[in-house]
A and B are shown apart, each in its own frame.
Chain A
Amino acid sequence: GENVEQHPSTLSVQEGDSAVIKCTYSDSASNYFPWYKQELGKRPQLIIDIRSNVGEKKDQRIAVTLNKTAKHFSLHITETQPEDSAVYFCAASKMDSNYQLIWGAGTKLIIKP
């Protein structure tokens, strides 16, 4: 079955710098890759997602890149701000169903002032 590995488990960056979180997946049939952000004590919320027919997607300071050949995808956050501090989860799924969404273990992002 699908397996999603996420690295690093903890990432500490200076405010204003960039942060990159990487995920690898095992099932080449996976073609939907969402990223969720969970602030302390709050619910996970979708921040960006990408489907396999594109290699990159941007939304203001966040972007996701996908390398289907290498089976990895990454979240990039530029000009980090204190409100970016949270746990970020990647996931992978075949596009036909949410039921097969497999999650990474999460990355705790700490923004240092």
Chain B
Amino acid sequence: DVKVTQSSRYLVKRTGEKVFLECVQDMDHENMFWYRQDPGLGLRLIYFSYDVKMKEKGDIPEGYSVSREKKERFSLILESASTNQTSMYLCASTPGQRTGELFFGEGSRLTVL
């Protein structure tokens, strides 16, 4: 059973703080993704990674960066959090390159005050 674990379910941060969101998957998947979920906007891709130390921008990368030092771990970094980054963040992973099931974590709800 694939498990994608996000380190924090709920976070409250202040404007300007640096925020780390951690995601770990235990199925040796090559691909990992960070999405942002907002009501009425669906899921929007922030960044993805198809291999260790590799990263590609998604649709809304501004204000975010990522790190993938190990295959199982993909981190999302907000260098200087802003109130418009208040959202639900979902991590996902999938094996291989072709389309198929995305395995999601349970999400991290970030509130920036």
Contact = CB atoms under 8 A, between A and B. Distances in A.
Interface stretch (A57-65, A66-74, A78-86, A100-108): A100-108
B12 interface: no
A98 B43 contact: no
Contact of B43 (A45, A97, A103): A103
B104 A106 contact: no
A95 interface: yes
Given A42-B106, A43-B90, A43-B107, A98 B100 contact: yes
A29 interface: no
B25 interface: no
A44 B90 contact: yes
Contacts of B97: 96-98
Interface of B: 4, 31, 33, 39-45, 48, 50, 56, 58, 90, 94, 97-102, 104-107
12 contacts: A34-B102, A42-B106, A43-B105, A44-B90, A46-B101, A95-B98, A98-B94, A98-B102, A101-B99, A103-B44, A105-B41, A106-B40
Given A34-B101, A98-B100, 18 more contacts: A4-B42, A6-B42, A9-B40, A32-B99, A43-B90, A43-B105, A44-B90, A44-B104, A45-B104, A91-B43, A98-B31, A98-B99, A99-B45, A101-B99, A103-B44, A105-B41, A106-B39, A106-B42
